Amino acid sequence: MFEKLEAVEKRYDELTKLISDPEIIANQAEWQKLMKEHASIEDVVLKFREYKKEKAKMAEAEELLHDPEMKELAEVEYYEAKEKLPKIEEELKILLIPKDPDDDKNIICEIRAGAGGEEAALFAGTLFRMYSMYAEKKHWKLEVLNENETGLGGYKEISFMITGKGAYSRLKFESGVHRVQRVPDTESSGRIHTSTATVAVLPVVEDVEIEINPSDIKMEVFRASGAGGQHINKTSSAVRLIHEPTGIVVECQTERSQFQNKDNAMRMLRTKLYEIEKQKQDSEVANARKSQVGSGDRSEKIRTYNYPQGRITDHRIGMSIYQMENFLNGDIDEMIDNLIAADRAERLKGEEE
């Protein structure tokens, strides 16, 4: 581990010189690339330097233990450093785990009603509200890209983009099947119904990250519409893009301008094509380490929201929270923190093996 850390520190020093070079600064694309690499390893280097500082302090104090006048003070410093070092070592191990390159990206989230008819659509609406409130708490921007509302205020499907630092790193483990157990408002006998909704969280990608051949795309335009005749446009501003090689279809109809809808639809299409490639890589990694966290499999039942018991259970980590109202109001950080910790532990185990 320490050989690797020495190499990372050496690279960091090289990068520090390069990003100050006027010739490199003049080439903005190269400078930004180097700046990104510099920032990505800075935390590791600073923590390694902290480790070396404590190690040197411990060695210095050890020498002074033989000096009767300095012994008492040296003992305090020696044992303080000795206590700190294992903790710093553990932090270094975590920092050396390869970071998901998508963690800092914005996201496109799709929520679709699953089994359960109108109740499933209402649950999709509940999940959308939960993520909207979470985004608000984080001071992230949320923009609806496409929606298909039902008469009672639910959604057959809704797609939206969340823009904010670390959005993907916080929400990527939300992908999968969410199950709800509750008595629907429409149920007169008071029977508990089980319904589902699927959530897909995808990192937003830039043009340079994935190339799309324009001849592979078929574009259709139509009039935007909503439940009960809401949002009806007199012009064909809504856009549907069909990527013929993969059969992927995306729609966007929330903007009044056809150009804006097409731009958003292209963003969604790039994101979905990128996700196909990412899932191939992720499945290989997941198979190698047999991790239950973060596989992103949309068919996997990841969480149950049990209203009668006021309990939310995440099946991947076996964690339950008994604060239904707060959770659905966007207070989901405790669950997210535990999912991140479980994934990190799994990856750390994989690194050690």
pLDDT at 229: 41
- The string of pLDDT tens digits covering residues 70-81 is 888 888 888 888
Of the segments 208-217, 253-262, 327-336, which one has the largest average pLDDT value? Answer: 327-336
pLDDT at 273: 84
pLDDT at 36: 84
Residue range 134-148: mean pLDDT, rounded: 92
pTM score, whole prediction: 0.67
Kindly report the average pLDDT of the chain as a whole number. 84
* Half-sphere exposure (Cβ direction) of 250: Cα atoms closer than 13 Å: 25
Could you give the domains of the chain? 2-96 (no CATH), 107-348 (3.30.70.1660)
pLDDT at 155: 93
Burial pattern 235-263, b for ≥16 Cβ within 10 A else e, equals eebbbbbbbeeeebebbbbbbeebeebbe
Round to whole Å and give the CA distance between 195 and 182: 9
More confident residue, 205 or 286: 205
